[in-house]
Amino acid sequence: MTAERHILILGGTTEARRLAAELAAEPALRVTSSLAGRVAEPRLPAGQVRIGGFGGSEGLARWLREQQVDALIDATHPFAERISFNAARAAAEVHVPLLALRRPGWVPGEGDHWHPVASLAEAADVLPALGERVFLTTGRMGLAAFAHLSGQWFLVRSVDAPEPPAPPRMEVLLDRGPFTVAGERELLRRHAIDVLVTKDSGAAATAAKLTAAREAGIPVVVVRRPPVPEGVRVASGVGEAVGWVWSTLG
């Protein structure tokens, strides 16, 4: 293989950081990670980092061409729908091989009371029938979907402070994972939480709340993932993605 093949990782997840660390250790590869710039102090991955949007699929296609990217890995959060769509479009346009890295979703176990919904709006619709003290862990960006619920009290956990519109009765807890079962158990108890809302991120770092909810017999509203863009190849783990890079670059 000729030196310095360029890999672009669309990041913002634990898996993206782990993948960057593995690939950046390879002398034959130049690795750039791209972050959206939503988090004020992001955990920076190994290798080069660029921050901010590309300007739609056209901007991303231009960047891939100008920076002579040899392979693109969309390792964004399973709910970051727009960037994944842009990646599929841009990669097809400039003929750069694309892989989506998606950790598997969570699976309910015995004793779980899960209510799967298709969107945050649907989560807000089912909430009043399920509880009054809500632990909301879907991130600060989608808070507007719950802003009309005045009958519920919300504990909102997010990395950075949310902005309005937001529910009228809420407390904000600024924190980021990994979280422990003991910590989550204590949080549910202290705030007398009777319903949890989460996206099906599948992340190990944030799965402890599901165990704590199961133990406490609390219902969980689980927002299902949007589909990966049609035709895009998917890897479920970092090792598989690394293997794909080598087989793709030849």
Q: Which residues bind ligand NAP (CB under 6 A)?
A: 10-13, 34-36, 38, 53-56, 59-60, 76-77, 79-83, 86, 139, 141, 199
Q: Is the link from the previous residue into 167 a cis peptide, with omega within 30 of 0?
A: no
Query: Nearer Cβ to ligand NAP, position 16 or 155?
Result: 16
Query: Nearer Cβ to ligand NAP, position 50 or 185?
Result: 50
User: Residues with Cβ < 8 Å from 27, sequence gap 6 or more?
Assistant: 3
Rounded least distance, CB 197 to ligand NAP, Å: 13
Q: SS3 of 198, please?
A: strand
Rounded least distance, CB 114 to ligand NAP, Å: 18
Rounded least distance, CB 79 to ligand NAP, Å: 4
Query: Nearer Cβ to ligand NAP, position 13 or 152?
Result: 13
In the complex, residue closest to ligand NAP by CB: 53
Look at the chain and count its residues: 250
Rounded least distance, CB 57 to ligand NAP, Å: 7
Structure token digits, residue 89: 């479009």
Query: Nearer Cβ to ligand NAP, position 139 or 202?
Result: 139
Q: Give the Cα separation of 122 and 100 in Å (integer).
A: 27
Provide φ and ψ at 74, rounded to 5°: -90, 95
Q: Are 10 and 3 in contact (CB under 8 A)?
A: no
Rounded least distance, CB 87 to ligand NAP, Å: 9
Q: Are 170 and 156 in contact (CB under 8 A)?
A: yes
Query: Nearer Cβ to ligand NAP, position 53 or 217?
Result: 53
Q: For residue 205, what is the DSSP state? A: G
